[in-house]
Structure 1
Amino acid sequence: MIELSLQHRFGAPGWRASGRDEGFALDARIDAPGEGVTALFGPSGCGKTTVLSAVAGLLRPQQGRVVLDGTPLLDTARGICVAPERRRCAVVFQDARLFPHLSVETNLRYGLRRAPAESGGPSFDEVVALLGIAHLLGRRPAALSGGERQRVALGRALLARPRLLLMDEPLAALDAPRRAEVLPFLGRLRAAARLPILYVTHALDEVDALADHLVLMQEGRVVASGPVEALSARTDLPLAARRDAGVLLSCTVIESGPEGLTRLGFDGGTLVATIHPGAPGTRLRVRLRARDISVATEEPRGISMRNVLPVTLAEIRPAPEPAEAFLRLDAGPTPLLARVTRDSVARLGLYPGMRLWALVKAVTLDHRAAGPS
């Protein structure tokens, strides 16, 4: 369990060097699970990195507590402030920060040398295999691509055998192809590390791929916190203002047909998609965007859409755009969101409790790395 309570105001002498606007205040309370990935998500400047810095010991907040598995790393009221090097928090930054004069292997073994003698964790060979970097061991960082450097930085952090892994937008400096290259390795690390990870990002696809628990931040405060699937279905949060807003479904591959389509099962029905995430039994997450869902008051026939789900209209809520509305639809126990025009609500005479059919095109479904087991 990770317990954070942090209060800090930028504005004291030296605030300009921090890059913060005068008067910015962090007042955040976060309780995160003791395993899996907790993503700190929000716009630039909302305080995500400040939280990470306070946890790592790189910033001492004016008031606060940082407790990891019952052990206080910081308690300003009691005068406790464990030195950064004794907190056993490994940090992966946007830039890999590898030693340029050392080979990949020596960079990795530097992390291993920092691991406490009694600590357990994956071996050198296991980390190398996990991140697919065996062919890079003899190279220097200058001879690596951006994605390769980040994979080596991840390996070095993991080999230090930390109690907590901190990642500060580790993919932000990479272009789209390199981000796509590294994301699967982050997913593998998430499954293999078996330690809590605090992951700072403002990229929703990274949240979809990696996060178990989500902390939404805005202007130095926590707006909401909880399981990522539950928060994705809420229309009262800043996520709903995004054009890619929608629910995140945990699915399992049922079968892949000869026509190139894949059947996915979720707790509430099945979906047909054009994606090919793996063999039957493969677990994945699918973002079902609200803008990609239409509704019908009668079961449609003679249409190209492969996904026609019987649902119950649970709620009609306002959307950020005045001419639009959100429909919360219940597909069995699973909530879905549809974004429609207010004109459609009136024209179809929609009301809570009404039986509807949700229509989803197979070609609109995107998948991410394997979801939590």
Structure 2
Amino acid sequence: MLKCDFQYQHADFQLNIELEMQQQLLGVVGVSGCGKSTLLKNIVGLLKPQQGCIQLNEQVFIDTQQNIHVPMHQRKIALIFQNALLFPHMNVQQNLCYAKKLVAQPERKFQFEEVVELLELSPLIQRKAHQLSGGEAQRVSIGRALLSSPNLLLLDEPLTGLDTHLKQQILPFFKRMKDELDLPMIYVTHHFEELEYLEADTLQLNQGQLQTMSKLETS
């Protein structure tokens, strides 16, 4: 379970987060600039809140009162950005294996063959990054994140910049991940229809505050 109770401020923007996540997939929707990426960056450790605490299961990442701050590389959280960040000099197999090699065998949550099958990467395995379409590159990026064996996967508007056809290709893979993997995920977007397709419990981020959102509110 993820528990967040923190405040983060930059210039005139303030983010006040109270969250207890127990579901396998949580959606966060909001307009551009509302703080969605800032929320994820605080959870993963790219940013540090001025006050509060962040905890995943039994591990406390941030507790400002106790002066606890676990660095990003020790949190075992994977963050997928809008643009796939692949190693350009490596082919798909090498990109995937790079992540796998960083995890000791007993700690690996997912097997290489399992991830390749889940994301249908077999036809791409020998291609270099520049030979992939935007949708293919994003699938490889997701695969590499899974092979890092995270305890939490954060998706920061992963379909932004892709056309409608590519979005329709990738969304079913997220649905399979939700249905087939035992991995908590937070998916942030400003397109509620993506979360509706994934049947995600959804919160709205508005003026730095998380609010409950029902499907009736979107109709």
| Deviation readout 1:66-117 (Å, 9 max, x if unpaired) | 1101321111111111110110001110000000110000000111112244
CA distance in 2, matches of 1:148, 1:64: 39
Q: Which amino acid letter does the alignment assign opposite residue 132 of structure 1?
A: E
Structure 1: stretches of 5+ with no match in the other structure: 12-22, 226-230, 234-239, 247-373
Q: Which amino acid letter does the alignment assign opposite residue 9 of structure 2?
A: R
Pairing 1:129–2:117 present: yes
From the CA coordinates, give the structure whose radius of gyration is larger.
Answer: 1
Correspondence for 2:19: 30
| Deviation readout 1:283-308 (Å, 9 max, x if unpaired) | xxxxxxxxxxxxxxxxxxxxxxxxxx
CA distance in 2, matches of 1:223, 1:122: 33
Q: Which has the higher contact order (CA 8 A, sep 6+)?
A: 2
- Work out whether residues 27 and 203 of structure 2, in 8 Å CA contact, stay in contact via their aligned partners in 1: yes
Pairing 1:113–2:101 present: yes
Pairing 1:232–2:211 present: no
- Work out whether residues 116 and 122 of structure 2, in 8 Å CA contact, stay in contact via their aligned partners in 1: yes
2:187 pairs with 199, 224, 227, which one? Answer: 199
| Deviation readout 1:157-187 (Å, 9 max, x if unpaired) | 0011100001101101211111111111111
Taking only the aligned residue pairs, the percentage that are identical comes to 37
When normalised by structure 2's length, the TM-score is 0.96
Q: How does 1:180-195 map to 2 (within 5 A)?
A: 180-195=168-183
- Shift of the alpha carbon at 1:191? 1.7
- Work out whether residues 108 and 147 of structure 2, in 8 Å CA contact, stay in contact via their aligned partners in 1: no
- Work out whether residues 166 and 199 of structure 1, in 8 Å CA contact, stay in contact via their aligned partners in 2: yes
Q: 3-state SS of the aligned residue for 2:20?
A: strand
CA distance in 2, matches of 1:6, 1:51: 10
- Shift of the alpha carbon at 1:224? 1.9
- When residues 8 and 150 of structure 1 are mapped into structure 2, their CA distance, relative to the original with a 3 A threshold, is same
Q: 3-state SS of the aligned residue for 2:113?
A: helix
CA distance in 2, matches of 1:30, 1:160: 25
Q: How does 1:284-295 map to 2 (within 5 A)?
A: none
- Shift of the alpha carbon at 1:125? 0.7
Q: Which amino acid letter does the alignment assign opposite residue 152 of structure 1?
A: V
Correspondence for 2:58: 70
| Deviation readout 1:336-355 (Å, 9 max, x if unpaired) | xxxxxxxxxxxxxxxxxxxx
Correspondence for 1:104: 92
- Work out whether residues 45 and 72 of structure 2, in 8 Å CA contact, stay in contact via their aligned partners in 1: yes
Root mean square deviation, CA, Å: 1.3
CA distance in 2, matches of 1:42, 1:170: 14
Q: Which amino acid letter does the alignment assign opposite residue 13 of structure 2?
A: F
Correspondence for 2:8: 8
CA distance in 2, matches of 1:5, 1:115: 30
Write out the 4+ residue segments of structure 1 that deviate beyond 4 Å after TM superposition.
none
Pairing 1:79–2:67 present: yes
